[in-house]
């Protein structure tokens, strides 16, 4: 072979190899750019009240996926006791819950913590029938004294609503045997039970539940608003809540926890800025496209009383200290060293 021919052939082979390498690298780059980052799967429990609206909005609007989370909503009406059991078994990663319920769960061996909080601000309202002779006025303790001999519906025995009634009774000097507590489920079921005369009052974990029951039961009233000034300060504070997660899952998935908080904060901002659309989504998701009046009032209240007070979902010490005080005062459960503010909140949530 002529030397020039050999040189030309070698140069051509070298050029082709370089082109092939460049093409391979370019292709790899394109593939890499087109491959989305892996989404972290999350199962989130839900219940058809405004308290759970941020999760539902974040899921419906694609906010979770935008923040790297592949969320499955589990419900549609999950009680807190069920959520705790599922979390302990590794089948649920988040659920909105009140502070006392998480304390009780942890005192019984669970290891739950708050990733974000909706506080300070009550989530509990006790709605009562208007035809059973309860006083329209009176302080917190007097109203619970008047419930002696009555039947109060809770979401489920052992749920947050059930624990709240028990603590409120104890704080008001009412013995456990003096009020009958029965599990009735979501507000829609409570309406049926109250209209049938089987339940005299119902405690709900959201203003939307109060709106729903007072609309569905003739002459029903919001009998006790836990945010009322007559409510003992500890009870007023402990009826705050937040988004609980399993502590071991949070430790193993710090980025997912960070993204979850970010998604909830974005959902908060979207709800506040788009209240009409948020009400429409609430109606569709929680009420099968009905109850627009309830959804509209609930979103407005939630934006003004919950989101506006704590737009960054920060967990603050006072409600946890109040809950711990009542927990110990009324011997709700054993103190096993997992009940303080530091135990019950992630550092990133404070």
Cα–Cα distance for residue pair 87/197, rounded to 1 Å: 35
- Give the whole-angstrom CA distance, residue 152 versus residue 76: 23
pLDDT at 333: 74
**What pTM value is reported for the model?**
0.82
Taking the C-alpha atoms of residue 56 and residue 277, their distance in angstroms, rounded to an integer, is 13
What kind of architecture, by CATH, is found in domain 40-120+240-349?
3-Layer(aba) Sandwich (3.40)
Q: pLDDT value at position 227?
A: 82
The number of angstroms, rounded, from the C-alpha of 283 to the middle of its chain's C-alpha atoms is 18
CATH class for the domain made up of 125-236: alpha beta
SS3 (DSSP) at 218: coil
> Which residues, in sequence order, are CB contacts of 135 under 8 Å at separation 6+?
142, 143, 146
Task: Report mean pLDDT in 10-residue bins for the chain, 350 residues.
Answer: 45 43 41 61 95 96 98 91 92 93 90 91 89 90 96 90 87 94 96 97 94 97 88 76 96 97 98 98 96 97 92 93 83 79 95
- In the chain, where are the structural domains located? 40-120+240-349, 125-236
**Burial, 221: exposed, middle or buried (Cβ in 10 Å; 0-12, 13-18, 19+)?**
middle
What pLDDT, on the 0 to 100 scale, is given for residue 112?
Answer: 96
The region, left, alpha or beta by phi > 0 then psi within -120 to 50, assigned to residue 31 is alpha
Per CATH, 40-120+240-349 and 125-236 having the same topology is answered: yes
- pLDDT the model gives residue 32: 38
Is there a cis peptide before residue 221, judged by omega within 30 degrees of 0? no
pLDDT at res. 198: 97
pLDDT of residue 332: 72
Residue 121's pLDDT is 67
Closest CA to 95 of 127, 56, 134, 133: 56
Beta-carbon contacts of 213 under 8 Å, excluding residues fewer than 6 positions away, are 127, 187, 190, 191, 194, 202, 204, 220
């Amino acid at each position: 072979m002529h030397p020039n021919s050999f040189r030309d052939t070698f140069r051509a082979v070298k050029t082709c190899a370089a082109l092939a390498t460049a093409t391979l690298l370019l292709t790899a780059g394109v593939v890499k750019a087109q491959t989305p980052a892996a989404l972290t799967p999350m199962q989130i429990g839900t219940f058809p009240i405004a308290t759970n609206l941020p999760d539902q909005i974040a899921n419906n609007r694609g906010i979770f996926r935008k923040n790297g989370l592949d969320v499955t909503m589990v419900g549609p009406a999950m009680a807190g006791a069920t959520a705790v059991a599922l979390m302990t078994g590794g089948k649920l990663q988040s659920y909105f819950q009140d502070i006392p319920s998480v304390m009780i769960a942890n005192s019984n061996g669970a290891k739950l913590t708050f990733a974000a909080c909706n506080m300070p601000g009550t989530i509990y309202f006790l709605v009562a029938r208007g035809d059973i002779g309860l006083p329209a006025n009176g302080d917190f303790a007097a109203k619970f004294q008047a419930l002696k001999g009555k039947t109060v519906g809770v979401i489920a025995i052992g749920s947050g609503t059930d624990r709240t009634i028990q603590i409120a009774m104890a704080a008001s000097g009412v013995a456990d045997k003096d009020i009958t507590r029965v599990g009735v489920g979501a507000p829609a079921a409570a309406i049926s039970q109250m209209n049938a005369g089987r339940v005299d009052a119902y405690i709900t974990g959201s203003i939307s539940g109060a709106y729903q029951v007072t609309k569905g039961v003739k002459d029903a009233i919001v009998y006790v608003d836990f945010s009322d000034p007559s409510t003992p300060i500890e009870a007023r504070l402990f009826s705050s809540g937040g988004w609980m997660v399993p502590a071991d899952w949070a430790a193993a998935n710090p980025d997912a926890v960070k993204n979850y908080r970010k998604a909830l904060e974005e959902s908060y901002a979207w709800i506040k800025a788009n209240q009409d659309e948020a009400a429409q989504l609430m109606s569709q998701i929680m009420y099968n496209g009905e109850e627009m009046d309830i959804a509209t009032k609930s979103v407005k209240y939630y934006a003004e009383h919950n989101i506006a007070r704590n737009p960054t979902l920060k967990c603050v010490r006072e409600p946890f200290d109040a809950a711990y005080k009542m927990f110990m005062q009324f011997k709700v459960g054993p103190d096993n060293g997992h009940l303080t503010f530091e135990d019950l909140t992630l550092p990133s949530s404070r």
